[in-house]
Amino acid sequence: MGWKGKIGVLGAGRMGSALVKGFLGSGFPAKDILVSDKDEARLRHLAREGVRAVSDNLELVKGADAIFVAVKPGDVRRTLDEIKGLIGSKLIVSVAAGVPIRKLEEKLEKAKVIRAMPNLPCQVREGAIAYSRGKLVSGEDARVAGELLGRLGVAVELSEDMLDVATGLSGSGPAYFYLAIDALTKAAVEDGMPREVALKLAAQTAKGAGETLLKTGATPQELIDAVRSPKGTTERGLEALEKRGVAKAFGEALRAAAKRARELAG
Ligand SMILES: NC(=O)c1ccc[n+]([C@@H]2O[C@H](COP(=O)([O-])OP(=O)(O)OC[C@H]3O[C@@H](n4cnc5c(N)ncnc54)[C@H](OP(=O)(O)O)[C@@H]3O)[C@@H](O)[C@H]2O)c1
């Protein structure tokens, strides 16, 4: 972890705040993080963490070496028009869903552009992040981008045509798992379990399932088979899910989200 520059996060909404919190949690010095937003309340909230919060995007661009653009996809064009004169050859990491590198490079002629798809667990450094590099990004720039994004969780470089798929998988994905956790919790509560306990068991089960996959290297099917015994409890649960087409629905969720990402690109 050798990069010594300053990070700028433009847009302090849900994702921008998650990035700031993740960088802070990784030990990146608060004094080397700048954040800007139009909304003063959001800035005040982050300023309490010790980062430099500014309302002027140009001040942020001047002061930062690597700039994360975390505004809504529809605001990217306007935002880049505002800052492009000061970007020069700085590293720009756009996290906007759907906005292709080509469009970012058209605006920022000399900038080194990375397009990334993070997710909200970046705030606790458990993010799943996919990223692609633009044409002016050197090997060293890509290493820096990988180092910075790696502070927020697991970061993988992919070809750009996979980023909309990553949006449907890991960008939107936390919501799919929250939905499952919420549904399981509600059912347990209906059957008499205290909400707090049910939520803790459901969330830890999701975490434990993911951790087991990552740490053992076993396939999901192998792990399903390890939980399921013939005519046992899990089999009954899985049959109920199958009857409702849940596996197919997850595939459809990924594709619908990826399609929406392509639409947002305009
Ligand atoms: N949320 C997620 O889970 C997630 C996951 C992966 C990627 N992303 C991407 O992250 C980006 C931000 O999403 P979000 O959910 O964080 O949205 P958000 O909560 O609406 O945050 C965007 C923030 O940027 C501000 N903003 C807009 N234009 C600006 C400008 N020109 N200068 C300074 N600030 C400006 C907005 O202010 P106003 O509200 O006043 O406009 C808002 O505070 C999107 O492009 C999205 O695709 C989000």
Q: Which whole number is the average pLDDT over 146-164?
A: 97
CATH topology assigned to domain 7-162: Rossmann fold (3.40.50)
pLDDT in tens, 19-44: 999 999 999 999 999 999 999 999 99
Cα distance between residue 198 and residue 190, in whole Å? 10
Query: Measured in angstroms, how far is the CA atom of residue 265 from the centroid of ligand 1?
Result: 15
- Paired tokens of 109: 């002629």
Nearest to 159 by CA among 134, 138, 127: 134
Residue 1 is predicted with a pLDDT of: 55
Whether domain 173-264 has CATH 1.10.3730.10: yes
Residues near ligand 1 (Cβ within 6 A)? 10-16, 36-39, 42, 57, 70-73, 75, 79, 95-97, 117-120, 171
Helix (H/G/I), strand (E/B), else coil: 173: helix
pTM: 0.96
Residue 109 is predicted with a pLDDT of: 85
Return the domain boundaries, the chain. Answer: 7-162, 173-264
Distances in Å between the Cα of 165 and the Cα atoms of 91, 98, 133, 173, 234 are: 24, 10, 16, 11, 30
